[in-house]
Chain A
């Protein structure tokens, strides 16, 4: 990657240069101040860069070369499911019938789009084992918020007000953040020695205040990559207390076609279409976080809902947006959701089919266990032991504690040294209950060769650290910049360029 000094598009700006040609209005050139009162107008146009098209192309191409991406190499970022993004999906999403369809188009003239959404809803419902789906939430955390608002509405409908939401100490950070935004209080549940929910703690937390328990938010397999074998009992406990059971679908990639959240007893599930269903991550969005729900939650789903209306009088079935949902929690955003993401994910589901989805999960689980086995050998096995020693699902968590205690090398150092070897590091320092954690998710995308190469690189870095830990401690060396001062960026934030 490039090592030249960063220059912004603003620093390339020269007065009078431009790219766009604006068409003649073709209508009377009335002075703007005669059309809009002067006190509502701005004095100077906003300071945008003045650059010709070739320089814009060069600038952003240059920036692109300062990014590492999934198409460049292995990206075992735990909990993020960095699987291949088929280019077919981009092609079909760009069809004018999708890309240039206005969201306020009359549903009678958007039948293809509504049918696609309906079919995607049905596919996701089958994968989750739950009867109803809303595609509206824009991301996983948006789905979580939706699920908690649904829980609140469900209880309110029964004349109940509940205040507490249970979540394991291994949960994603979005879970507790969503709980607070939805007006609930988080109650943490401990983890047992097998990496699952500590049942005695769960029983105690429920028993302490059963009427106040609104929901339990769970990821299964959890963020340690382990399936909680007690899930049926957990579901029974929560349901007996009158709470809902929420499934954080970030780890769905482990179980497609193998087991279903609905069959485990979950009431509400969010799915990350940008994880299991191959929507590209885009450097931090866009994604989509549809929710699947049980029958008792269905009346409260956000509106509008995409529905199929049976035909009559010789007309076939049609698709519509249903706004007449009196118990709905209402909208969570504008229009119908991230339709472009729906197109890509539906194309992915069509491509893989029932068998392909099941096989994707099998391969993801096989890859994770293989890489875990490879990393249990040699130096890695000693310095980076797996946090919970059992078969994992699609990801696993290592602890860099021995590495830190014995060689004085932090997980962060190892991660930064991996950059020099051309790998994206695993997720680091999460989940919080594992010291110096490294969370590794290879996905079904990777070959045995790329898994071996990663394991070899870890081994090489550890061997190097035995003789000279300073190398890793000062890494990386080959990246466009080296370690950055993140503290300064928070203490004295510079969040825009100051322009003359």
Chain B
């Protein structure tokens, strides 16, 4: 090979790098390892994580421990789906392109909006992309965002807004849902988009239709983030006046993976089709009149339009979207609805069961589908530690993101969480709260005569 190139060594090929810039030493990394050694090393790391097989997981907050059917792994691990690049050569990428087309059809059905793209990175950055679209569509630069929108989405939107030059105004919650009066007051003629989430971060189902009127009145776009798993039950955003419906796709056919990779879905009205971010597959024909699929509307995209592109994104999280499509086909029309109903009923049971525990009360009583918030009459992080000792991850401490809910706990239910596990959670919370109270009591009474303390605990 060197002779064909006309050099004496591979080293000569690197002569184009100026000498002082050559590293001139090995990288300071360990030597290579055998496959078995790498496996052992990574298994040892994995063992140190309290995953949902080691702990009963009531954590949600945007990603959920659903059962991913075996058929999803079987199909997504096929090398024909796993190893190709983006379908730039449609004649040899019909499989992937058709999956995108089917996925777009399914997401349109779920959200009630006619246009879907083939997927974005994940949920929160999809919200930021919606903001960018809304700025282009309205020539305005202000977003009115409910505090019910996922804190990561709000923060991501703010990060992006510093770049594209937009203002983010937050509207608070009342009774667990967006404060309608405050929202109406915040929206004006400068507002590019009103951004809501339903169910919101506290699990409450928002009245999107009523809240969205403020957007329509002032010519702003209505953007609704939603949990796809709830759309077998809830009225789709497209029927509530949404211009854009988007969200985190993980609940559909994707593993938890400590937060990624998953995908974001992004659906919109026909009016926005030429402003959409990301890849979109379209149906067409070949020269013989044979049905086929291609990447449509590529003139929106960075590889054609460069600085005038509607977004800089090139990835579609195609493999993750395939997982979602297979999961949806596996659930099917009836199964998807039944699963939604199961979530509503088990969640209702869990909410009632937990609310009956001494030291637990509901944070709000708005309707919920699969997640709800409670207040604990004991320090939340300490209660979580005690419950963890029983092998249960009780939920997400709301104080991490909401100073107004320092005592809040967000509990998520999936079809994997059985009645017995819910009962065990209730018992563990009861014991943990009692334990914390007892400890507090014994601390505060530590100067009192010993007999008095014993009497108080008894």
Query: A6–B94 contact, CB under 8 A?
Result: yes
Please indicate the chain B residues that have their CB under 8 angstroms from the CB of A97 in the complex.
43, 45-49, 51, 54
A459 to chain B, nearest CB (A): 15
Please indicate the chain A residues that have their CB under 8 angstroms from the CB of B388 in the complex.
106, 109
Stretch at the interface among A36-44, A197-205, A236-244: A36-44
Q: B404 at interface (Cβ–Cβ under 8 A)? A: no
Query: A176–B32 contact, CB under 8 A?
Result: no
Please indicate the chain A residues that have their CB under 8 angstroms from the CB of B319 in the complex.
280, 282-283, 285-286
Q: B455 at interface (Cβ–Cβ under 8 A)? A: no
Name the one of B20, B73, B110, B156 contacting A334, with C-beta atoms under 8 angstroms: B156
Query: A70–B234 contact, CB under 8 A?
Result: no
Query: B164–A100 contact, CB under 8 A?
Result: no
Q: B260 at interface (Cβ–Cβ under 8 A)? A: yes
Name the one of A36, A182, A369 contacting B5, with C-beta atoms under 8 angstroms: A369
Query: A280–B83 contact, CB under 8 A?
Result: yes
Q: List 11 A-B contacts (CB under 8 A).
A: A49-B329, A60-B99, A100-B255, A103-B258, A145-B312, A181-B160, A259-B17, A390-B16, A481-B90, A494-B283, A495-B280
Q: B139 at interface (Cβ–Cβ under 8 A)? A: no
B307 to chain A, nearest CB (A): 4
A183 and B132 CA atoms in complex are apart in Å by 11
Find residues 251-299 in chain B having any chain A CB closer than 8 Å to their own CB: 255-261, 263, 273, 279-288, 290-299
Q: B358 at interface (Cβ–Cβ under 8 A)? A: no
B177 to chain A, nearest CB (A): 11
Quick one: given A229-B16, A355-B26, are A30 and B248 in contact (CB under 8 Å)? no
A326 to chain B, nearest CB (A): 14
A448 to chain B, nearest CB (A): 6
Query: B290–A391 contact, CB under 8 A?
Result: no
Q: B444 at interface (Cβ–Cβ under 8 A)? A: no
Q: How many residues of B contact A (CB 8 A)?
A: 200
Please indicate the chain A residues that have their CB under 8 angstroms from the CB of B28 in the complex.
126, 354
A148 and B250 CA atoms in complex are apart in Å by 28
Query: B296–A63 contact, CB under 8 A?
Result: no
Please indicate the chain A residues that have their CB under 8 angstroms from the CB of B259 in the complex.
103, 334-339
A313 and B26 CA atoms in complex are apart in Å by 36
Please indicate the chain B residues that have their CB under 8 angstroms from the CB of A64 in the complex.
75, 78, 80-81, 95
Q: B236 at interface (Cβ–Cβ under 8 A)? A: yes
- A50-B333, A97-B46, A110-B258 are known; give 15 further A-B pairs, CB within 8 A: A22-B339, A51-B329, A56-B330, A63-B94, A88-B35, A144-B312, A281-B84, A286-B263, A334-B156, A340-B258, A340-B260, A366-B1, A479-B91, A484-B293, A485-B285
B12-25 vs A, Cβ < 8 Å mask (1 yes, 0 no): 11111110111100
Please indicate the chain B residues that have their CB under 8 angstroms from the CB of A325 in the complex.
none
Quick one: given A281-B83, A283-B96, A369-B5, are A103 and B13 in contact (CB under 8 Å)? no
Q: Which B residue's beta carbon lies closest to that of A77? A: B85
Q: B150 at interface (Cβ–Cβ under 8 A)? A: yes
A41-71 vs B, Cβ < 8 Å mask (1 yes, 0 no): 1100111111101001101110111111111
Query: A495–B284 contact, CB under 8 A?
Result: no
A257 and B29 CA atoms in complex are apart in Å by 10
Name the one of B23, B156, B337 contacting A260, with C-beta atoms under 8 angstroms: B23
A302 and B125 CA atoms in complex are apart in Å by 13
Stretch at the interface among A356-364, A379-387, A403-411, A463-471: A356-364
Query: B260–A338 contact, CB under 8 A?
Result: yes
Query: A496–B101 contact, CB under 8 A?
Result: yes
Query: A495–B21 contact, CB under 8 A?
Result: no
Q: B195 at interface (Cβ–Cβ under 8 A)? A: no
Query: A481–B43 contact, CB under 8 A?
Result: no
B127-163 vs A, Cβ < 8 Å mask (1 yes, 0 no): 0000010000000000000000010110110111011
Query: B59–A177 contact, CB under 8 A?
Result: no
Find residues 1-50 in chain A having any chain B CB closer than 8 Å to their own CB: 1, 5-6, 8-10, 17-20, 22-23, 25-30, 32, 35-37, 39-42, 45-50
Query: A183–B35 contact, CB under 8 A?
Result: no
Q: A104 at interface (Cβ–Cβ under 8 A)? A: yes
Please indicate the chain B residues that have their CB under 8 angstroms from the CB of A390 in the complex.
16
Please indicate the chain B residues that have their CB under 8 angstroms from the CB of A27 in the complex.
345-346, 348-349, 419
Stretch at the interface among B115-123, B182-190, B216-224, B425-433: B115-123
Query: B233–A36 contact, CB under 8 A?
Result: yes
Quick one: given A183-B165, A481-B90, are A285 and B316 in contact (CB under 8 Å)? yes
Query: B309–A183 contact, CB under 8 A?
Result: no
B398 to chain A, nearest CB (A): 11
Please indicate the chain A residues that have their CB under 8 angstroms from the CB of B261 in the complex.
138, 285-288, 338, 340-341
Name the one of A104, A144, A341, A366 contacting B63, with C-beta atoms under 8 angstroms: A104
Q: A133 at interface (Cβ–Cβ under 8 A)? A: no
- Please tell me the size bucket of the interface on A: 35 or more
Query: B21–A493 contact, CB under 8 A?
Result: no
A117-152 vs B, Cβ < 8 Å mask (1 yes, 0 no): 000000100110100000000111110110011001
Q: A263 at interface (Cβ–Cβ under 8 A)? A: yes
Q: A113 at interface (Cβ–Cβ under 8 A)? A: yes
Find residues 151-176 in chain A having any chain B CB closer than 8 Å to their own CB: 152-153, 173-174, 176
A289-314 vs B, Cβ < 8 Å mask (1 yes, 0 no): 00000000000001000000000000
Query: B39–A91 contact, CB under 8 A?
Result: yes
Name the one of A57, A96, A483 contacting B71, with C-beta atoms under 8 angstroms: A57
Q: B341 at interface (Cβ–Cβ under 8 A)? A: yes
Please indicate the chain B residues that have their CB under 8 angstroms from the CB of A103 in the complex.
63, 256-260
Please indicate the chain A residues that have their CB under 8 angstroms from the CB of B12 in the complex.
391
Query: A26–B418 contact, CB under 8 A?
Result: yes
Q: B98 at interface (Cβ–Cβ under 8 A)? A: yes
A140 and B412 CA atoms in complex are apart in Å by 33
Q: B87 at interface (Cβ–Cβ under 8 A)? A: yes
Q: B367 at interface (Cβ–Cβ under 8 A)? A: yes
Q: A343 at interface (Cβ–Cβ under 8 A)? A: yes
Q: Which B residue's beta carbon lies closest to that of A281? A: B85
A376 and B6 CA atoms in complex are apart in Å by 12
Complex A-B, nearest 9 residue pairs according to Cβ-Cβ distance, in ascending order: A97-B46, A335-B259, A353-B32, A103-B259, A282-B319, A286-B261, A112-B48, A177-B302, A176-B307
A486 and B138 CA atoms in complex are apart in Å by 29
Q: Which B residue's beta carbon lies closest to that of A64? A: B80
Query: B31–A353 contact, CB under 8 A?
Result: yes
Name the one of A92, A111, A284 contacting B315, with C-beta atoms under 8 angstroms: A284
B206-217 vs A, Cβ < 8 Å mask (1 yes, 0 no): 010100000000
Query: B326–A365 contact, CB under 8 A?
Result: no
Q: A482 at interface (Cβ–Cβ under 8 A)? A: yes
Name the one of A263, A346, A479, A485 contacting B92, with C-beta atoms under 8 angstroms: A479
Please indicate the chain B residues that have their CB under 8 angstroms from the CB of A39 in the complex.
207, 209, 235
Q: A192 at interface (Cβ–Cβ under 8 A)? A: no
A336 and B257 CA atoms in complex are apart in Å by 10
Name the one of B41, B119, B257, B326 contacting A56, with C-beta atoms under 8 angstroms: B326
Q: A232 at interface (Cβ–Cβ under 8 A)? A: yes
